[in-house]
Amino acid sequence: MKTTLEKLEGNQIALEVEVDEKRVEEAIERVFRKVAQQIRVPGFRAGRAPRRVVENRVGKDYLRWEALDALIPEVYAEAIRENNLRPIDAPPVDILENEEGKPVRFRAVVEVEPEVTLGDYKGLKATKQIAVISNAHVNEALENMREQGAQLVTVERDEVRTGDFAVMDFTGYVDDQPFPGGAAQGHTLEIGSGQFIPGFEEQLVGANTGETAQVHVTFPEDYGAPDLAGKEARFDVVIHEIKEKKLPALNDDFAKDMGEFETLLELRADIRKNLEEEVERRATQSLEADVLQALVDRSEVDIPQKMVDFQIDYQIRQAQEELEMRGLDKERYLEFFGFATEEELREELQEDAKNEVKTSLVMDAFIKELEITVSDEELDERITEMAGEGARADAVKGFWETQKERLSSILAREKALEILVENGDIDEIQVEEPEETEADQGQEDSGQVDAD
């Protein structure tokens, strides 16, 4: 195989490849053997017909073009690797010469990733915010643990109060007709939690067990089910039982139930240690993101629109998949994000996508510039660390053994971020509250009545 490269305008390269006739013939022979097994030729067993007979049946051109269909992508991929090209996508291929007994030549105009002019990575200014873990933070974590271990206990009281857990049956009606998702039996609702639509829980305060209470509400205009949005509804509610939350006592016995702790003091110390490790992790992640963005801002690169479009496609797919996981129709994602057309959404995503693409290009260029590498020993060590111990250790290890190239990229990026931080101009400040992450914030309840 011979290749020649010609630099064109922008970030395009003309790649011309010549494949010698011997390799072409070998590819044709493989196709012939495959076809010979698939067709029936009178007088010959399957796969035993001579090539000339098979060529007479299907045509020599058919065998040759089938061979080239398989061979050209293979040869193109080799040429890309050998010339260290990083194409943005797969270009069309033009066959320049295709005569029997001669080399096959083809040409492709390859749009490759653009060159990056890296800015100085030393002295990047950033701030590391470190939260000081106080007794209040530890107490809050303990209370959350108590909440998780709480039990609901039936109370000998007939009247519902705010904070109670009411076990109820309910049926909802719009225009005196029941609607899908508006009924449940034996449903437990914390009164005052705001889980149901506005006004529902408040009207149950003072209701008595065994009696039917009528609740009148209006669905919000932005309610998740469009056929109910803005409509008035009536719910017939029968409360069967009232329960209260009973929290476990905060003592040494509680600590023992939470793990290998003998005393409450040991549990508190472990909580503090975990909180401090978590706020350090968050602070480091935020700092790394800031210094990387600073390097991106110092660097220059002409970003191809095609790469931006690919990034927008990815972001939209991610959004659609997330909505589907939350039970929303894929077709309604535009409405969910408040856009009339996909063009409007794509325009809104332009700047963020450009920055994502530029960040990726700058990071790759930085890793290449500093010749950051990851050894096999480092890969094996990280795989062992991630696998840990337990029933799933072998499965986790087996998965990452097949993903070593991906893992190598992750570790190289980690090393690059460490270098940026080490060479940065970093100020550290203390803040009172740990920075909240998306996971801590949780997902907002949709407010729908459906109790299933």
Whether 179 maps to a domain, the answer reads yes
- CATH number (domain holding residue 379): 1.10.3120
Is residue 418 domain-shared with residue 312, that is, in the same domain?
A: yes
Whether 452 maps to a domain, the answer reads no
Per-residue pLDDT for 448 more than 60? no
pLDDT tens digits along 55-100: 888 999 999 999 999 999 999 999 999 999 999 999 999 999 999 8
Is residue 161 domain-shared with residue 36, that is, in the same domain?
A: no
Domain boundary among 220, 246, 272: 246
What is the pLDDT confidence band of residue 450, given thresholds at 50, 70 and 90? very low
What is the pLDDT confidence band of residue 436, given thresholds at 50, 70 and 90? low
Whether 360 maps to a domain, the answer reads yes
Is residue 353 domain-shared with residue 409, that is, in the same domain?
A: yes
Average confidence (pLDDT) over 387-395? 87
Is residue 242 domain-shared with residue 268, that is, in the same domain?
A: no
Average confidence (pLDDT) over 321-344? 79
The answer to whether the CB of 100 falls within 8 A of the CB of 246 is no
Whether 192 maps to a domain, the answer reads yes
Domain count, the chain: 3
Per-residue pLDDT for 198 more than 50? yes
- CATH number (domain holding residue 54): 3.30.70.1050
Whether 135 maps to a domain, the answer reads no
Q: Which residue segment(s) compose the domain that 429 sits in?
A: 262-441
Domain boundary among 91, 112, 133: 112
Is residue 302 domain-shared with residue 215, that is, in the same domain?
A: no
Per-residue pLDDT for 449 more than 70? no
SS (H, E, C) 253-278: HHHHHCCCCCCHHHHHHHHHHHHHHH
Is residue 242 domain-shared with residue 267, that is, in the same domain?
A: no
Q: What is the DSSP letter of 195?
A: -
Q: Is 146 exposed, middle or buried (0-12, 13-18, 19+ CB in 10 A)?
A: middle
Q: Is 170 exposed, middle or buried (0-12, 13-18, 19+ CB in 10 A)?
A: buried
Is residue 163 domain-shared with residue 197, that is, in the same domain?
A: yes
Count of Cβ atoms closer than 10 Å to residue 233 Cβ: 19
Is residue 395 domain-shared with residue 434, that is, in the same domain?
A: yes
pLDDT of residue 285: 94
Task: Give the Cα separation of 226 and 180 in Å (integer).
Answer: 13
pLDDT of residue 40: 85
Task: Give the Cα separation of 162 and 253 in Å (integer).
Answer: 30
pTM: 0.72
Residue 125 falls in which region: left (phi positive, over 0), alpha (psi -120 to 50) or beta: beta
Is residue 316 domain-shared with residue 390, that is, in the same domain?
A: yes
Whether 451 maps to a domain, the answer reads no
Task: Give the Cα separation of 75 and 107 in Å (integer).
Answer: 12
Per-residue pLDDT for 452 more than 60? no
Bridge-based pairing state of the strands 425-431 and 125-131: parallel
pLDDT tens digits along 301-326: 999 999 999 999 999 888 888 888 87
Mean pLDDT, the chain, as a whole number?
A: 90
Whether 50 maps to a domain, the answer reads yes
Whether 296 maps to a domain, the answer reads yes
Is residue 189 domain-shared with residue 318, that is, in the same domain?
A: no
Bridge-based pairing state of the strands 116-117 and 165-174: unpaired
Is residue 235 domain-shared with residue 187, that is, in the same domain?
A: yes
pLDDT of residue 322: 84
Is residue 427 domain-shared with residue 281, that is, in the same domain?
A: yes
Domain boundary among 246, 277, 298: 246
Q: Which residue, 89, 98, 48, is CA-closest to 69?
A: 98
Task: Give the Cα separation of 418 and 412 in Å (integer).
Answer: 10
